[in-house]
Amino acid sequence: MSKSHDIVVGFRRAEENDVELVREIVLEAYSKWISVIGREPTPMKADFNKVVREHDIDLAIVAGDVVGLIEIWLHADHLWIENVAVHPHRQGIGIGRRLLSHVESKAAQAKIGEIRLQTNEAFEANIALYAALGYEIDRREKFMGGKTVFMSKKL
């Protein structure tokens, strides 16, 4: 498999004509978790038309193909990551890391010193990735029979 530094990743903001592409990537990326938690993860239930129209979503592009996305909300004191999704055929090669790095750059440009996110406690690989990139666990809360893990990173 390629290392992340070998891959050229471009970014562009999702537009209204990208709704089906965004839906496809999110559904494909999260479908593997259904058997782990016994239900569809919350991102799979989004109103994708509304999400693309109202939120800041950047698409990751490799060799002309959209392979992942990151959805963020900019707040006065932090940048919130609502969703990170990488197409299953492109997972494990550094696209998620690139998306997170891209968002850190956006936060720095906006002079925001903290990034926050949440994930399901059962998504151990995701938690491990965030921890490896400097995110710390702030708290856990019960949610729909499991636990949500809230994490943050100071920049």
pLDDT digits (tens, 9 = 90+) for 66-90: 999 999 999 999 999 999 999 999 9
In-domain check, residue 106 = yes
In-domain check, residue 86 = yes
Tally the domains of the chain. 1
Cα–Cα distance, 90 to 55 (Å, whole number) = 24
Predicted local distance difference test score (pLDDT) of residue 1: 36
Q: Are 68 and 83 in contact (CB under 8 A)?
A: no
DSSP 93-153: TTHHHHHHHHHHHHHHHTT--EEEEEEETT-HHHHHHHHHTT-EEEEEEEETTEEEEEEEE
Predicted local distance difference test score (pLDDT) of residue 145: 85
pLDDT cut 70: percent of the chain above it: 97
Kind and range of the H or E element at 81? strand 79-86
- Domain with 91, as residue range(s), is 4-112
In the predicted structure, residue 17 carries a pLDDT above the cut 90: yes
Look-up of token digits 């089906």: 20
In-domain check, residue 123 = no
Residue 12 in tokens = 């562009």
In-domain check, residue 125 = no
In-domain check, residue 91 = yes
In-domain check, residue 21 = yes
User: Tell me, what CATH number does 82's domain have?
Assistant: 3.40.630.30
What is the tens place of the pLDDT at every residue in 139-154? 999 998 889 999 999 9
What is the tens place of the pLDDT at every residue in 100-124? 999 999 999 999 999 999 999 999 9
Query: Which whole number is the average pLDDT over 12-30?
Result: 96
In-domain check, residue 71 = yes
Average per-residue pLDDT for the chain: 93
In-domain check, residue 131 = no
